[in-house]
Structure 1
Amino acid sequence: MNVDKIEEFIQSQKSKVLELTSKYPERKSLEVDFKELDFFDGGLAESLLEKPDEVIKEFERLLSVETGLKAHVRFFNLPDVVGVDVQKLGEEHLNKLVKVEGVISWITEINPRVKTAVWECVYCGRKQDVETDRVSALKPPGQCSECGRSKFKLLEGESEFINVQRAKMQDLIEKLQGSMPTSTITMWLEDDLVNSVFPGEKVVVTGVLRIMPPKEGRGKSSVYGKYLEVVHIRKVMQEFEEISVSKEEERRIKELSENPKLYDLIVQSIAPGIYGYNELKSAIALQLFGGCPNKVLPDGQRVRSDIHILLIGDPGCIVGGGRVVLGDGGVERISSLGVEHLQEINQRVLTGEGRATAIAKRFHVYESQPVIEVVTETGKSVKGTFNHPLLTVEGGRRVWKRLDEIKEGDRVVVVGFIPCSVRKRVRTGWEFTGSSEGVKLPREVGFELAGLLGYLLVRGRVLKSGFECLVDGSDEVLGLKVSRLVEESFGVKPREFIVKRGRRFFKRFVLSSSIVASTVGFLREGRVPGFVMRSGNRVVASFISWVFEGGGRVSRSGVELKSSSVEFLRDVQILLLRFGVRSEVRGWENSRSLKLCVGGESLRRFARLVGFQSEGKRVELKRVVQRVAVKEGVLKGLLTERVARVLRGGFEDVYDVEVPRGHRFIANGVVSHNTAKSTILQYVARLAPKCVLVSGKGASGVGLTASAEKDDVTGGWILKAGAMVLASGGQVNIDELDKMDKEDRSALHEAMEQQQINIAKAGIVAQFNTRTSVLAAANPKFGRFDPNEPPTTQFDIPPTLLSRFDLIFTIKDVLDESRDRRMAEHILLVHSSTPSDVIMPSISLSDLRKYIAYARRTCFPKLSKEAGDKIKEYYVSLRKMGKKENTFSITARQIEGIIRLAEASAKMRLSSEVGLVDAERAISLTDFVLKDVFTDKETGLIDTDIVNIGQSKSRVDKIRLVINIIQSIEREVDMVDIDEVVKRASEVGLDEVSCRKIVNELSLQGELYEPKTGFVKSARKRIE
């Protein structure tokens, strides 16, 4: 390091130094462009990067000599070669100068830190100055330099303090893809850097990476934390600059913008793996481009440019015990395929189309949903939400039907054979936790262990100290087999006892081991173990054979297995399909004499591929097979079974897996449909240049917006930015919006409309920008859409929040044959064109991201007269229509939404002007939504009150009519007879059903109460 060069460089910055001197102490830093230093002396610039502590200290010493001030020297504009992403900051960057770009997620209050502590010896009074470390606790000198003793007191009044503030920075949202996790780094800001940034702001930081010593504990950890000591910080205002566009890419973008089919190409590139929903995809495409920002009204109010869209769709799910067939033929309960809602998974499943498979991408959980159960003639059962679809056959046609649409006598499609490709043995996951007690625990599921567990399930029991099972004493060979199963599975020979029961005697085999007892304790559940369900055919055959040996018998026409558990029999039933063996659960109606029966064409396959273990039962089975003499054959492909019973259940937790390509899977041997709107949100999250994907169930209002929280370190306050603040200038995708608490949802009102959040807490007043478009998804209030009720009455979202959305789409699982046929062709095309699980969009995802980012930062179209006249004409025509019927068919809020959509359409074309085609496109989408969501089912007219206040004008009029009738009768009598209300209402045209429904609703709302059955009174006193 050349000190003379540093002094010479400071002299070259004379004008800046003089400006600093004149503005000190309001300004305390000399800001130096690194490029200027590099141009002046490359060696000195290199030393700064490698040894920033020494170089900066010398710069500040010489600056102090020059000016007589305690000023800082802050370097900025470092080269890209030293630029590092937050997630990549590691040991190679320690104590070096780096450049990091990110977004501020939270900041603390300002706190004073002791920079130089003054310690006084309590014996001789000698004072010593000690420079303090930023993150370590204050420590006095080791001993007094005067008397040599080591007891000191801190003199706070004479010590030097400096303002400090901590902040946390995370990776830029636009650098992340979809749901990629973010990395964060704590930043340390001192002196004039405090209060220089705010949560949600995008910054470029010059700093030195430091280590943070581990917290004191029982032993010192070898793992250290890290933080960034900030040297300089600069705010970045421009959005999407991280998505760089080369000259060649810019040329291609402009060329694409002139394509006459541009709009269709972009719409086709939105979630191409999902068939249909063209209007929704069109709306999302426009949302990604957004309207024109920075429009301000004369009164200073900013006009929102971001487009908000809400999707409300049917979730179709089954209960946790539903058995899903995996891609390799293994079977797993659907509740075991994931842990938490919206968890990403990568599980291949069979689709029920021969050996065709598809990948389940995401796991869903919905708590306490109303369920319904469909049971087929062979005892197969599917229990799920009312709208969960099964494939049925009706009039020779395959038709998807919801569970609540299926009737007894309908025929559902089932599979007759489950292909299995499992070859490796499945691990048990068993491990010792204490003394082995002389036993071994098998690590893999082999034939012996599977057979033993099968026999224990039907002829044994698990005790506290081990397990035992019974064998017919007359069958010596079978007894030896059972003993060998125990010994080969657990390494210990079981003890043998003779048990007499009347004239018969049995052998009781006992294994005494508390470890084994706790290990196989799951057998008490009475279900087939999960690792057996996932095992290969040879292991499964051994398990089933021993199950039938212990609990089964040969009947006159086949074989049967008895059990007290219908779910155990259904477990075995689906495993038998591995061998093409169809079976029937009998007695499930009353749970008495429950048994699983195999006969007919499946009997010969059972005998050959599964069979019994004892010689006696083998001979009996052979005799029955010869007598029945049914030709052996596997029933491949899809079969149908008659629905024997439809049972209404209570409320249960239900589960779903998203299968984006096949949209179907096998549940309990029945072909089930997969419906999930979350796929759209995930795809858009990957496509949008800047997007955060959150789940409403796991996000609070403050987690979406902003909050002030207590700082555990200092006891002060931390200002935290939520998802909408961090994604400001981009997009937030919110799944499960209806699962948020009402209080949390209310926090979204201001964030969505005014696009800012104001916080006033504990004396802290702050304002955050939330200039973010919102794409939200929710479920209907009652689990599914009722086609006979207006959609808005089925939204569990308050009207005040609904009205913030520009467009609302209802995604109904309409089971239409022609649409399903086109969807099937779409899926088959994917299968035949590429082995990939991803359907190639018309424009690649990366190219479309760049196109959107380029349009958003370069294109700001103005509304043309033709477009404005078209929008005005549409608005006036709808207002006139509403005036005739005394309804509000459209409001000014919809007009603003149409303008935003039209501007987005023009942006898509990279046009400087919003043309007639853009206005027509925006009007078409708005008209589609108005007719689907805002139409009053009773009058057939568009009425925005349906969303704005939650009820249509006609509905409000009926409620007022009923209230007026009740109040009129109350003037005559004390209690109002409901029948009299119905009678008077019918005289003025209100039918009985509607009248009684309104009375019930008013009672539930607390407007009325029932003093006795059949009578009501107003809950509020009427003032004459």
Structure 2
Amino acid sequence: MKQLGSEADVQVSLKGAELTEAFKKFLETYRSKEGLRKYMERIGQMIVTGQKSLTVDFMDLIEYDRALASTVLDNPGEAIERFSEAVKLVVERENPEYARKIVKFYPRFRNPPETHRIRDISSDYIGKLIAIEGIVTRVTKIDAKIVKATYRHRDPETGIHEFIYPDEGEIGERFEKPVYCPVCGKPGRFELLPEKSTFIDWQKIVVQEKPEEVPGGQIPRSIEVILTGDIVDVARPGDRVIVIGTLRVAPISSLERHSPRALFSFYIDANNIEVQEKVLEEIEITDEDEKRIRELAKDPWIREKIIASIAPGIYGYWDIKEAIALLLLGGVQKILQDGTRIRGDIHVLLVGDPGTAKSQLLQFTSRLAPRGLYTSGKGSTAAGLTATVLRDKMTGEYYLEAGALVIADGGVACIDEIDKMREEDRSAIHEALEQQTVSIAKAGIVARLNARSSVLAAGNPKDGRYDPTKPVSKNIDLPPTILSRFDLIFTIRDIPNTGQDKRLARHILGVHSEADKTRSLIDLTLLKKYISYARRYVRPQLTPEAARLIEEFYVSMRQSSISSDPSQPTAIAITPRQLEAIIRLTEAHARLSLKNRATVEDAEEAIRLMLVMLSKIGMDVESGRIDIDVIESGVSASKREKKRRFREFVFGLLEDVGKISISELVAKASEKGFEKEFAKEEIREMLRRGELYEPESGYVAKA
């Protein structure tokens, strides 16, 4: 344990009443830099608001008396109990009536002298007060823990009498009944009286290492934390927390009942838990860093330098790297007066052929993001990508476990092979991508968790290679409802091209022969701080000119949807969802240069990226026009019209003949200009929807 004072200081060891008096004196006499009696004021507020806990800044205790602070760290059990007594004595003097109402007051420590990584916890710290940082991954429901039990003893000789157990102190983690009655001194059967006993709220959570602290190739470590009293239900899965508490051990139950193991597992009996609200505060930016960041932002080529620094070992992909840079910076989140949230996070999907460096792009992004997490579509835990309710094998209790998107809250979730995600995640990810929350209602647990993360996802085409003659929804095993929630979608195709292949081969050979010289134009540590600084302090607003340009683009694209030929189906080129995506991309582009005003230049680049996407995957292959329905619903306007004409043809034919063989129906459809494969697919679809039925094998009739 870190020593706070000199050897002479630490040798001073107060106990019992002396310790209580020392804490009481601290509460009564400590003054802040402004000269205020800080803790007397807090106790006054505590009485007015009806609270039981007093928050104590550990640095104040160190400043006041290092030996007293060391006593708390080295012997937290007695120290916290004595501090509680000291608070009660002060409250009794200030407000005796309130002191009588509250059985026990709790000092809650914050701002510890040091925090430990979960993987650094060892048996040296057992019984000491320690602080850890991590992510909450599991939460149980709140239960009641008995701390003072009241029993009734019926005895033929002495009659009926009641007693409180234990007489002093509280019941520990294990519930043990008294052997003898303290009133009459006899053994017997004692009846517990819950209504006269004292209970406190109890909850167990699991805190896991932060992804950025886990050494490469190792499994994240976790530790159980016990919360009691008014600190239960403070944290939810996905929250980043600082826990201060006493390190304790509990025996690991053995499978062999008659030979208990000599192994114990660590857990923390929490004194306090704080949720870290400001997610970007974790990256420390010094005055020197800020000066370098500001100098960098003045460079007229800063945009190009940042994009070129994204995965420099991967050749080409300029538009994709720009999209990743914008995703890392993000747009500006807005909260309307009615409480509606408009997300600022940008989502990007890469769909491409094997061997096109999709996974490398994702892994690089997860390392560069101030808070990045890399996972696969299957998910690294039973919670998958979102969250789930699981049952503890030992206790049988249900608990909530967070998935990748919840753990990445406030950062970037890089999801490889998103097309292979679990069925449960397919339904939950809709909400996670748009509303940025995960709602769950299982086994009596109803919760809504935050999933405020940007998503960079990659998927493989169904048939191994991307087929440009099919819409993107037919190429990847993802429903259109999920595809439409991505702001930008890029296809990566591996097409033989002599010039391109030569340049790529030279680049790869150069990377292999001079691996140590392959560097980003901007140092990655500085770039990480640049991104964090931009997200934290830069909130761009659209200039009137930029807003007008975006409006004109949106209206012109909508106008292009209106066909001059009334017989032609209307192909909608763009929807309000793409309009919001353009606004987010414009704001993110302004953040590239740390600008607080998003200009026409930023809007033009955002529109260019949107047109790149629409021209590649938003194109109706039959009509050659941009049709957003290819992404939004998976069916273009021309395809919808073709399906409508086919249905009319089939129903008209069946009105005349009653029933017809499928082979004959396909042949007649072919004569009318419908492709045979299209006709077979539509007949299967009409049978599935119940519009047709099979009166006998190989024949169809109108339902």
TM-score range, shorter chain: 0.7 to 0.9
Confirm whether residue 944 of structure 1 aligns to residue 628 of structure 2.
yes
Aligned residue in 1 for 2:514: 833
Equivalent residues in 2 for 1:388-403, closer than 5 Å: none
Distance 1:759 1:995, change over 3 A: closer
Identity among equivalent positions (%) equals 39
Q: 1:180 to 1:291 in 2, by over 3 A?
A: farther
Aligned to 1:78: 111
State which of 222, 240, 245 in structure 2 corresponds to 1:184: 222
- Residues 661 and 698, structure 2, Cα contact 8 Å, conserved in 1: yes
What secondary structure sits across from 1:167 in the alignment? strand
Is the aligned partner of 1:891 residue 2:572? Answer: no
2:96 corresponds to which residue? none
Question: Which amino acid letter does the alignment assign opposite residue 108 of structure 1?
Answer: T
1:16 counterpart = 2:48:
no
Secondary structure in 2 aligned to 1:185? strand
CA deviations on 1:948-1000 (whole Å, 9 max, x unpaired) are 11111111111111100111112211114667756775776545664455445
Paired residues of 2:146 and 2:171 also in contact (CA < 8 A): no
Q: Does the CA contact (< 8 Å) of 1:935 and 1:941 recur in 2?
A: yes
Displacement after TM superposition at 1:923 (Å): 1.1
Instruction: Determine the C-alpha separation between the residues in 2 that align with 1:698 and 1:730.
Output: 17
Task: Determine which of 115, 119, 143 is the counterpart of 2:147.
Answer: 115
2:290 is paired with a residue whose SS is helix
Equivalent in the alignment of 1:91: 123
The structure-2 alpha-carbon separation of the partners of 1:861 and 1:676, relative to structure 1 and needing over 3 Å to count, comes to: closer
Match of 2:598 in 1: 914
Alpha-carbon contact 2:356-2:492 (below 8 Å) kept: no
Mapping of residues 824-903 of structure 1, within 5 Å: 824-834=505-515, 836=516, 839-884=518-563, 886-903=570-587
Partner of 1:612: none
Q: Secondary structure at the match of 1:195?
A: coil
Q: Report how far residue 906 of structure 1 moved.
A: 0.9
Q: What pairs with 1:224-235 in structure 2 (closer than 5 Å)?
A: 224-235=264-275
Q: Quick one: distance in 2 between partners of 1:712 and 1:980?
A: 60
Q: 2:390 aligns with which of 682, 689, 709?
A: 709
Alignment of 1:207 onto 2:270: no
Structure 1 residues 779 and 843, CA, compared in 2 at 3 Å: closer, same or farther? same
Matched, 1:782 2:463: yes
Rounded Cα–Cα distance in structure 2 between residues aligned with 1:865 and 1:175: 44
Shift of 1:946: 0.7
Q: How does 1:426-437 map to 2 (within 5 A)?
A: none
Distance in 2 between residues matched to 1:701 and 1:210, nearest whole Å: 28
Using the alignment, how far apart are the partners of 2:412 and 2:215 within structure 1? 13
SS of the counterpart of 1:84?
coil
1:650-661 matched pairs, under 5 angstroms: none
Compute the displacement of 1:770 (Å).
1.3
Deviations 1:735-770 (A, max 9, x none): 221112444311101111111122334554322111
**C-alpha separation between the residues in 1 aligned to 2:198 and 2:393?**
25
Q: In structure 1, what residue type is equivalent to 2:240?
A: K
Which letter does structure 2 place at the counterpart of 1:286? L
| Alignment pair present for 1:694 and 2:370 | no
- Report the residue type matching 1:51 in the other structure: N
Normalised TM-score (structure 1):
0.60
String of CA shifts for 1:698-724, please: whole Å, max 9, x gaps.
468953222333455655542332221
What CA distance in whole angstroms lies between the structure 2 residues aligned with 1:304 and 1:1014?
Answer: 52
1:970–1:976 contact (8 Å) kept in structure 2: yes
After TM superposition, give the deviation of residue 771 of structure 1 in Å.
1.0
How much has 1:177 moved relative to structure 2? 6.8
What is the SS of the residue equivalent to 1:971?
helix
Secondary structure of residue in 2 paired with 1:810:
strand
Q: Matched residue pairs, number? A: 654
Is the counterpart of residue 727 in structure 1 residue 386 in structure 2? no
Where in structure 2 are the equivalents of 1:644-683 lying within 5 Å? 674-683=355-364
Higher strand share: 1
8 Å Cα contact 1:289-1:855 kept in structure 2? yes
Decide whether aligned partners of structure 1 residues 11 and 182 sit closer, same or farther in structure 2, where only a CA change above 3 A counts.
same
Give distance in 1, aligned partners of 2:183 and 2:424. Answer: 64
Q: Distance in 2 between matches of 1:950 and 1:766?
A: 32
AA matched with 2:22: K
Q: Quote the residue 2:209 is aligned against.
A: 171
Task: Determine the structure 2 residue equivalent to 1:30.
Answer: 54
Corresponding letter in the other structure for 1:291? G
Q: 136, 150, 154: which one pairs with 1:104?
A: 136
Superposition map of 1:490-501 within 5 A: none
Alignment pair present for 1:250 and 2:290: yes
- Give runs of aligned pairs for residues 227-376 of structure 1, distance below 5 A: 227-293=267-333, 295-315=334-354
Name which of 195, 198, 201 aligns with 1:160.
Answer: 198
Match of 2:651 among 956, 967, 981: 967
**8 Å Cα contact 1:185/1:227 also seen in 2:** yes
Which residue of 1 is the match for residue 35 of structure 2?
A: none
Name the residue aligned to 2:176: 139
Cα shift at 1:1006: 5.7
Q: Structure 2: how far apart are the matches of 1:700 and 1:64?
A: 45
C-alpha distance in 2, partners of 1:96/1:297?
A: 47
Q: 1:950 to 1:177 in 2, by over 3 A?
A: farther
| Letter in structure 1 aligned against 2:147 | K
Structure 1 distance, partners of 2:296, 2:558, is 39
Kindly indicate whether the alpha-carbon contact (under 8 Å) linking 1:695 and 1:735 is maintained by their aligned counterparts in 2.
yes
Contact 1:706 1:719 in 2 (8 A): yes
Q: Does the 8 Å contact 2:389/2:400 carry over to 1?
A: yes
- Counterpart of 1:129? 165
The answer to whether the aligner puts 1:47 opposite 2:71 as a matched pair is yes
Cα separation, 2, equivalents of 1:8 and 1:738: 63
Q: Distance in 1 between matches of 2:677 and 2:153?
A: 91
For structure 1, the 5+ residue unaligned runs are 316-673
Q: 1:901 to 1:122 in 2, by over 3 A?
A: same
1:1017 paired with 2:701, answer: yes
Map 1:449-848 onto structure 2 (within 5 A): 674-698=355-379, 702-712=383-393, 715-834=396-515, 836=516, 839-848=518-527
Q: Alpha-carbon deviations, 1:840-859, whole Å to 9, x = none? A: 22223322222211111111
Contact 2:141 2:445 survives alignment (8 Å) = no
**One-letter amino acid matched to 2:301:** K
Deviations 1:159-187 (A, max 9, x none): 43222111122223454577753222211
The alignment partner of 2:410 has SS state of coil
SS of the residue aligned with 1:292? coil
Q: Supply the AA of the counterpart residue of 1:219.
A: S
Q: 1:1011 to 1:120 in 2, by over 3 A?
A: closer
Partners in 2 of 1:702 and 1:958 — Cα distance? 42
When residues 79 and 65 of structure 1 are mapped into structure 2, their CA distance, relative to the original with a 3 A threshold, is closer
1:283 & 1:224 partners in 2: Cα distance?
A: 49
Question: Quick one: distance in 2 between partners of 1:1011 and 1:153?
Answer: 76
Secondary structure of the residue aligned to 1:883 is: coil
Q: How far apart, in 1, do the equivalents of 2:493 and 2:688 lie? A: 29
Q: Secondary structure at the match of 2:511?
A: helix
Q: 2-side partners of 1:902 and 1:52: how far apart?
A: 53
How far apart, in 2, do the equivalents of 1:160 and 1:977 lie? 79
Could you tell me how far 1:826 is from its partner in structure 2? 0.3
Q: 1:816 to 1:1004 in 2, by over 3 A?
A: farther
As a proportion of its length, which structure holds more helix? 2
Distance 2:60 2:585 in 1: 46
